[in-house]
Structure 1
Amino acid sequence: MTPITRDQVPSLRRGFRLQWEPVQNCHVLLYPEGMIKLNDSAAEILQLIDGTRAVETIIAQLDERFPNVPGLDEDVLAFIEVAHAQHWLQLH
């Protein structure tokens, strides 16, 4: 996996859409071949990925919402790396 840098700007890949799914009682990532059920942490991160915010800004906003969470920045970077490797995200 290629390391993610804090100045990169992630966005959902074409064909992917994040939405709340009442039947599943969670956020899901929809794509043409299916659906990915997300845990709360993944959903919080993906809700901030809009193609305009840099990773550093996403981390800062999550840190404001969830202060004093140890390792939050490493967790966000790791999630974005995995999501990128799974082809959910593209990076600019």
Structure 2
Amino acid sequence: MFRFQWEKAQNCFVLLFPEGMVKLNEGAGEIMQLIDGSKSVKEITDTLQEKFPDAGDLSADVNEFISTAIEKKWLYYE
């Protein structure tokens, strides 16, 4: 239903769907790049903590984004 990709014209990651496009901010794009169906939320958070050590605790941000993405049906959870 949604396709995640880098959109050069927008200079950001986007989610494309038949009716349009959702532009993701930098943080959301970083999270989406790590979601592959095999990594846990903790693994995604740990990877981001390593990549952005000065960002502080990212757990709440990652959890909030993933919850929002599931609610908006950008992601699904079984």
TM-score, normalization: structure 2? 0.91
Specify which of 60, 70, 78 is matched with residue 84 of structure 1: 70
Provide the aligned length of Structure 1 versus Structure 2.
78
* Higher helix residue share: 2
> By how many angstroms is 1:25 displaced?
1.1
- Percent identical residues: 51
Return the structure number with greater relative CO, CA threshold 8 A, min gap 6: 1
> By how many angstroms is 1:31 displaced?
1.5
> By how many angstroms is 1:34 displaced?
1.4
1:49 aligns with 2:35: yes
Q: Which runs of 4+ in 1 moved over 3 A?
A: none
Q: Indicate the RMSD between aligned Cα atoms, in angstroms.
A: 1.1
Q: Which residue of 1 aligns with 2:2?
A: 16
1:89 alignment partner, SS class: coil
Unaligned runs of 5+ in 2: none
